[in-house]
Amino acid sequence: MVTTATAGVGIAAESAQRPETRAHLVAETPQAQTKAAPTRQAGEQPGAQGDQSKAKNVILFVGDGMGAAHRQAGRLALAGLDRDLYMDSLPVSGSVHTSPEEPEAFITDSAAGATAYATGLKTFNGAVGVDARGNAVPTILERASTAGKATGLVTTGQITDATPAAFAAHVSDRGEQSLIAEQYLTSSKPDVLLGGGEDWWLPEGTPGAFPDAPAEDVEEGSRSDRGNLLERARSEGYAYANSAESLQQAQGEKLLGLFANQEMFQQNPEGEGDIYDPVVSLEQMTTKALDVLAEDEEGFFLVVEEEGVDEFAHSNNGEKTIKAIDELDKAVLAARTFAEQDGETLVITTADHETGGLSIESVDDNDESGADEAEGISAEDGPFPIVGRQDGFVMDWTTSGHTGVDVPLTAYGPGSQLLTGTYENTYVHDAMVAALLGR
């Protein structure tokens, strides 16, 4: 999908409104001034090299499907060659292996990838919160709750979709989203739940804030097979929000926000117009979650996912992929600002896997090498302008699926030293547990 240079004008115009400098984010904190660790071996535990840093709070950002090239595309389009994204200015960096425990596949899906982060165990594709034999295993969110900490899940996808579900539910089939919602209310009980997916909380025929069979997707509609879970949430003490205004006004220690029938954006077949115009932004949801969770004197554990990166990369839509990265980056800034003021918060930004087999090329190299006209896939998007320069870049896709490449990780705050080097995705769980719970 090679387009004219005007395709990136909207992105460039918005980036011009971003802060003049990001230098204040580049200075390393005392916790971050460490040498890179060697590649970690399977079974090696965090803290083995003498780290004693502990965090009161942990915020884990998951840019679903966001590989190194996605972050580079965002950097060029939103910051330029002489600056970094907020997520890339976090001073500690690492590289994460993403394979599942799947005998017939080494490419992970979001369910297995998130479960590795949530439990420290690899599992099969499609499974959330269970091991490779289907047994429920405790998650870091549940362990944090048991330790007296507040917990939260935020996403631009369905709040019951694979990534958030892996931290607070236990099912072998990620598609059982009403069961996942029920487990939130009866078992893991996160204090904050913000995202899309109202359809999975209301029985068929029960009207919600978002109408069934909307013009943009007539297949959307209420479909809970576990009863009226929205009423059950209210009976459990959750304040409920379904708009920017009600989210801002919501009070109390427990908060449920559902802001779309399904995802908080619309992914369409290529050429039919993807839509990214959520009722509330990821930054707004993240800020509200922090406001609520920070009231807990024992600390908190929060997962924030930008699902749009993955969905738009699946459709090889470079412009909307960059838009989703921008929204994630603004949320990371909100968390980093909180962490700087708090001094006891570990912030991590990574991905569950890479989507699209993306590379970044100059405009002169637009050879459409990965195009598949039979599948309706145009391998290249762009050109997009580079902030502060006259030239631009092209996003070259090689697939509409997931790939097996490592994904980058950046971190800030107490315990971030544990995350230098190269390691399995399960190690990220171990490092978070060591920092947050001391074991």
Q: What is the CATH number of the domain that holds 270?
A: 3.40.720.10
- Which residue in 89, 99, 110, 222 is the catalytic one? 110
Contact of 92 with 411, CB cutoff 8 Å? yes
Q: Token pair of 343, please?
A: 């001094």
**Is 29 within the bounds of a domain?**
no
Residues 8 and 302: their CA atoms lie apart, in Å, by: 33
Whether 32 maps to a domain, the answer reads: no
Residues 378 and 394: their CA atoms lie apart, in Å, by: 12
What share of the chain in percent tops pLDDT 70? Answer: 83
The angle subtended at Cα 134 by Cα 133 and Cα 135, nearest 5°, is 95
Amino acid making up residue 66: M
Whole-prediction pTM: 0.88
The pLDDT of residue 217: 83
User: Treating both helix axes as pointing N-terminal to C-terminal, what angle do 110-119 and 425-437 enclose, rounded to 10 degrees?
Assistant: 30
* Amino acid symbol at 53: S
pLDDT of residue 373: 52
Question: Residue 273 domain-assigned?
Answer: yes
Report the chain's mean pLDDT, rounded to a whole number.
87
Domains identified in the chain, total number: 1
pLDDT in tens, 379-411: 789 999 999 999 999 999 999 999 999 999 999
Residue 384, SS3 per DSSP: strand
> Look-up: residue for tokens 């959330």?
128
d(CA 421, CA 308): 28
Residue 32 has what pLDDT? 33
Section 422-431 average pLDDT: 98
| Per-residue model confidence (pLDDT) at position 37 | 31
pLDDT band at 368 (very low <50, low <70, confident <90, very high): low
Whether residue 30 is contained in a domain is answered as no
Asked if residue 44 has pLDDT above 70, the reply is: no
Does any domain span residue 417? yes
pLDDT value, residue 30: 32
The better pLDDT of the pair 107, 17 is held by 107
Give a yes or no: residue 66 inside a domain.
yes
359 included as an active-site residue: no
31 pLDDT more than 90: no
Range of the domain at 103: 5-17+57-437
Confidence of residue 266 (pLDDT cuts 50, 70, 90): confident
Closest CA to 319 of 275, 354, 355: 275
Q: Which residues contact 50 (CB under 8 A, 6 or more apart)?
A: none
Is the pLDDT score of 23 beyond 60? no
On whether residue 43 sits in a domain, the answer given is: no
Q: Per the domain annotation, does 24 fall within a domain?
A: no
Tell me the pLDDT tens digit for each residue of 267-302.
765 556 688 989 999 999 999 999 999 999 999 999
**Half-sphere exposure for 436 (CA within 13 Å, toward CB):** 32
Helix (H) or strand (E) holding 287: helix 282-293
Say what the pLDDT of residue 213 is: 83
